[in-house]
Structures are given as C-alpha cells and as structure tokens.
Amino acid sequence: MEIFTLLWSEIIIRPMLNTLMVFYILCFHNMAVAIVAFTVLVRLITLPLTLKQLKQMRSMNALQPKMREMQSKYAGDRSRISQETMKIYRDSGVSPIGCLGPLIVQMPILIGLFRVLIKVLYSNPDDLIGYSELVYSWLTFLPVHQAVPINSQFLWLDLGAPDPSPIIVPFLVAATTFLQQKMTTTPSADPRQQSSQAMMLWMIPIMLGFFSLQFPSGLSMYWIMSNLIGVGIQYFITGWQPLWPLFPKKIRQETPSPTGPKSRTQQNNSSEVNDGNSRTQRPHSRRSNRTGANGTKRRPNRGRSRNTKQR
C-alpha cells in the first residue's frame, strides 16, 4: 500500500503542487490566476487526448445510420445487437471507450488538485507541514518555500473554503458542466442509452454542483475553467450546433399523429443520409429515431419538437 501512496505523491501530488506554486509566484501571488493558468496547462497537456476523443465521437456519429439499420434488422435479439454493434465498431476502427480518455486523465488530476489545494491553502498546522514535505528542494530559483502563507482571497471567495454565498460557484459548476456535456455527448441510437444520456445530462451537473457546496472554491474554479475550455475546444470543431436546443424535452412514448407536419419516415430518411460529420448536424435529432428499435412511433410535433425541424 505504501508504494501506491509514494507513487501517488511523486507522480500526481508533488508535480501538481510545485507547478501550481510556480504559477502562483509568476502570477504575482494571485492564486485564482494561478489556478486558471494551471487549468490551461492541464488542458493543453490533455489536448491530444481531447482531440482523439472528439475524433472518436465524430466517427461514432457517422456510424449511427448503420447502427440503426442493424438494430432494426435484429430487433428483439439483444445479444445479436451487441455482437453486431461491437463488429461495426471494430470494422470502423472505433473504440467506444476511447471517449473516456480525457475523463480518466481528469479524475486523478481533480482528486490530486483537491489534495494540493488543501495543502497549499492550508487551514491547520498539519496541512502546512505537509506542504513543506512536498515542495521540491531543488526548486531554489523560485522562492516556493517562502510563498506561504498563500493569498487565498479572490473576490468574495476564500479559495481554500467553499463558496460562502453559497449559490454562485455551485451554480457555475453545474451550468458549465451541463454545457460541456451538452456540447460533447454523442447521442446514442440505443433507446436505453438515450434515456440514460438524458439523465446523465442533468444528474452529473447537479451532483457536481452539490459537491462544490463542500469543496474548496479553488477546486470549483479549476472545474469551471476546465469546462469552459472544453466547450471552447468543442466549438472550434463542431460550432455551437450540439448545444441547441439547450434543454431537450423528455422522450415520450406516444402514438403518432396523422396531422403532423412531417412523417416519421421522412425524418428517418433525412437523418439517415446525414453522415454525422456535418457542422450543421444536430446529434440529438437522432434520439427520436426509435422506430427501428422498438417499433413505436410518436407525434413529430410534440415532445420531440426539435426532431421535426426541416434541414
């Protein structure tokens, strides 16, 4: 167990703490600016992974028509659908877990930053003593040892403590997480996955917003910045299209109306010709295409209004 503690300290905590402190000194002893600079650095380091993730998502988008076709072909045979899904992914060189790369990298950074902020923005003697152990002794060209006590004040926030308001920071955490998710989520062709995606779109921001009620606001600041940068990167690749409509309506299983402006078949056809790579593509539009999967139809103008838009 000690080896893991050592590795965790040497690979994650110490490099992060020292980098953050170097930024703190270079940013004129402003911890908020240092956190922003640190976030930019982390996002730059993980940029290749992020781009790979986006590439994977686009590839998966392009596979959606093929997937729907396959799902309708093997409707009712879940095991065959799974096999064929994997086959399609394999043949196309797409890894469904490839999208998780940046997320997996982010997790130790987040947990590490939590620990680092506690050490750096200490509130008791033990944390401060822990800080001295983690500073690189060879880092003599910058006065990292003498940089404490840290100026942890930024606007109304003590970056080492939760937001005293306590609404603004949790709201920003939740809102930016929602935006980031909305921009990057690959809509699934699988109805079950669609509903879980819709749930996650709301649950994760709410959960993180709730967590940030208790976490140091410096950590929340990292998360907010990281989300905004993520949204920015996504914008350069897909534009704002994935964001709209901002609040997709809940999927409802309803019988189709004969008076709808556009039939389901028309919609399906229009989505099937979309290769998923277009900047004007609206990924969530595919969520409505469940005919092949469960044989039900819905009124196009109600409940899934965005699916009825003409392209």
Partner 1 sequence: MIGCNPGDLGKAVKGWTPIAMDYTTSIIYTVDQTGHVIAVQDQGFEGPKLLWSYPPGKEDNLKGSYQAPVIFEDNILVAGINGHIYSFNKTNHSLSDHGWKQPQSIGTDLPRIFTGVAVDPVNNKAYAGSDDGSMSSYELSTGKPHNWEGFQLDDKIWSTPLVHEGNLYFGAHNNNFYSVDGITGEIQWTFATDGAIPGSPIITEDLVIFGSMDRQLYALEHRTGTIRWTFEASNWFWAPPVVKGSTIYAASVDGVVHALDKNGNELWNYDHKEQIIASPAVTPSGLVIVSVDGKLTLLDPTPQDLGESRIKSTLELSEKGIKAQILSNEEYIYVSSQSNNLYKIRVSNSGFEKNWCYDLEEKSVCE
Binding flag, residue 223, partner 1 (CB under 8 A): yes
Count of residues interacting with partner 1 (CB under 8 A): 26
Judged by beta carbon, residue 138 or residue 236, the one nearer partner 1 is 138
Judged by beta carbon, residue 187 or residue 216, the one nearer partner 1 is 216
Binding flag, residue 168, partner 1 (CB under 8 A): no
Binding flag, residue 100, partner 1 (CB under 8 A): no
> Binding string to partner 1 for residues 144 to 163, with x set by CB under 8 A, is what?
-xx-xx--------------
Out of 10, 91, 126, 275, the only residue in the binding site for partner 1 (CB under 8 A) is 126
- In three-state secondary structure terms, 157 is strand
Tell me how crowded residue 141 is: count the other CB atoms within 10 A of its CB.
7
DSSP state of 167: S
Judged by beta carbon, residue 210 or residue 247, the one nearer partner 1 is 210
- From CA 205, how far away is CA 177, in angstroms rounded? 5
Out of 76, 125, 280, 310, the only residue in the binding site for partner 1 (CB under 8 A) is 125
Binding flag, residue 10, partner 1 (CB under 8 A): no
Binding flag, residue 255, partner 1 (CB under 8 A): no
What 153-159 contacts at long range (C-beta under 8 Å, 24+ apart), as own/partner pairs, is 154/30, 154/31, 154/32, 154/221, 155/32, 157/32, 157/217, 157/221, 158/121, 158/217, 159/31, 159/32, 159/35, 159/117, 159/121, 159/216, 159/217, 159/218, 159/221
CB of 122 to partner 1, least distance (A): 10
Q: Is the CB of residue 57 less than 8 Å from the CB of residue 242?
A: no
Which of these segments, 29-37, 76-84, 216-224, 294-302, binds partner 1 (CB under 8 A)? Answer: 216-224
Exposure string of 162-200, with b = 16+ CB inside 10 Å and e = fewer, is bbeeeeebbebbbebbbbbbbbbbbbbbbbeebeebbee
Tell me how crowded residue 1 is: count the other CB atoms within 10 A of its CB.
5
Phi and psi dihedrals of 177, rounded to 5?
A: -65, -40
- From CA 57, how far away is CA 96, in angstroms rounded? 9
Which of these segments, 21-29, 125-133, 244-252, 284-292, binds partner 1 (CB under 8 A)? Answer: 125-133
Q: Is the CB of residue 286 less than 8 Å from the CB of residue 230?
A: no
Out of 21, 169, 208, 233, the only residue in the binding site for partner 1 (CB under 8 A) is 208
Binding flag, residue 66, partner 1 (CB under 8 A): no
Out of 7, 26, 103, 129, the only residue in the binding site for partner 1 (CB under 8 A) is 129
Binding flag, residue 228, partner 1 (CB under 8 A): no
Judged by beta carbon, residue 108 or residue 256, the one nearer partner 1 is 108
User: Binding residues for partner 1, per CB under 8 A?
Assistant: 107, 110-111, 114, 118, 123-129, 132-133, 137, 145-146, 148-149, 208, 211, 214-216, 219, 223
